[in-house]
């Protein structure tokens, strides 16, 4: 009986020691976990502080830049004021009486007003000339923005999207010559207003060319979307500039 009692007491002591060890382990785990949480919180807090300092630094840099800009403007104003002060000091330091000073100031003011009126008048004239030029360009279909080239009746439909030449133009002793580009269906090209007259009337004098080219030009303006017919100009070594200027009034051009 005593042996069993001793064994029982030994088991109880072992159990108590084990429980104490487990309890200690649990406490250590809790303490360690708590420390990790506190450390993580500290890291988060430091990150927030760094972000806050970065934002504050950016705001200060921006404010400094604005102050520098304002300071530069103030320096310009100060320089202008100093020049005015020097001007008035020179006038007042002279031995002239008040009437002469006032007369001189009035003359200077009148001179400045005359310059201003002259500038206003010149600006008005230039604006009128600009409006007339813009209207003329629009009437001629040259608004400053190139129109796309007109789609043409090509023999090979695969070239329709990229082929732009309506024909070739050259000048000779008899006048102006026009031929339909060989990649086009000539019959269909003749349906474009003015093209038949350009081809069958060759060589054309300037007036005949203008009448036919104007038809093609008007037709290009009426297409949707508005486009321009493109031609290639064969230029000789002694070709007058007036010949090229005449053609580009009605067609977009490339010189070959």
Task: Check whether residue 133 and residue 203 sit in a common domain.
Answer: no
Q: In this structure, is residue 16 part of a structural domain? A: yes
From 121-125, 191-195, 237-241, the region with the lowest mean pLDDT: 121-125
- Of 55, 70, 93, the domain-final residue: 93
Q: In this structure, is residue 161 part of a structural domain? A: yes
Q: Is 184 exposed, middle or buried (0-12, 13-18, 19+ CB in 10 A)?
A: buried
Angstrom distances, CA of residue 88 to CA of 94, 97, 206: 10, 14, 68
> Quick one: pLDDT at residue 2?
44
pTM, whole model, 2 decimals?
Answer: 0.46
Could you report the per-residue pLDDT of 94-106, keeping only the tens digit for each? 555 666 767 777 7
Could you report the per-residue pLDDT of 164-204, keeping only the tens digit for each? 999 999 998 889 999 999 999 999 999 999 999 999 999 99
- State the pairing for strand pair 165-172/230-234: parallel
pLDDT at 209 over 90: yes
Task: Check whether residue 173 and residue 89 sit in a common domain.
Answer: no
Q: In this structure, is residue 151 part of a structural domain? A: no
Q: What is the Cα–Cα distance from 9 to 4, expressed in whole angstroms?
A: 9
Average confidence (pLDDT) over 147-175: 90
């Amino acid at each position: 009986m005593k042996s069993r009692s001793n064994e029982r007491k030994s088991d109880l002591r072992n159990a108590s020691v084990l429980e104490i060890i487990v309890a200690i382990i649990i406490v250590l785990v809790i303490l360690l976990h708590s420390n990790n949480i506190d450390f993580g919180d500290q890291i988060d807090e430091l990150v927030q502080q760094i972000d806050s300092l970065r934002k504050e630094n950016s705001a200060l840099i921006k404010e400094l830049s604005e102050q520098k800009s304002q300071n530069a403007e103030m320096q310009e104003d100060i320089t202008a004021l100093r020049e005015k002060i020097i001007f008035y000091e020179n006038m007042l330091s002279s031995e002239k009486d008040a009437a002469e000073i006032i007369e001189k100031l009035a003359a200077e003011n009148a001179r400045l007003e005359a310059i201003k009126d002259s500038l206003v008048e010149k600006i008005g004239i230039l604006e009128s000339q600009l409006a007339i030029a813009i209207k003329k360009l629009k009437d001629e279909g040259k608004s400053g923005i190139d129109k796309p080239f007109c789609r043409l009746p090509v023999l090979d439909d695969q070239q329709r999207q990229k082929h732009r030449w309506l024909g070739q133009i050259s000048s000779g002793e008899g006048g102006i010559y026009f031929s339909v580009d060989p990649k086009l269906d000539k019959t269909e090209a003749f349906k474009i207003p003015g093209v038949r007259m350009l081809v069958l009337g060759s060589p054309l004098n300037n007036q005949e060319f203008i009448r036919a080219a104007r038809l093609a030009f008007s037709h290009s303006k009426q297409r949707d979307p508005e486009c321009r017919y493109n031609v290639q100009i064969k230029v000789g070594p002694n070709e007058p500039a007036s010949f090229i200027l005449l053609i580009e009034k009605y067609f977009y051009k490339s010189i070959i």
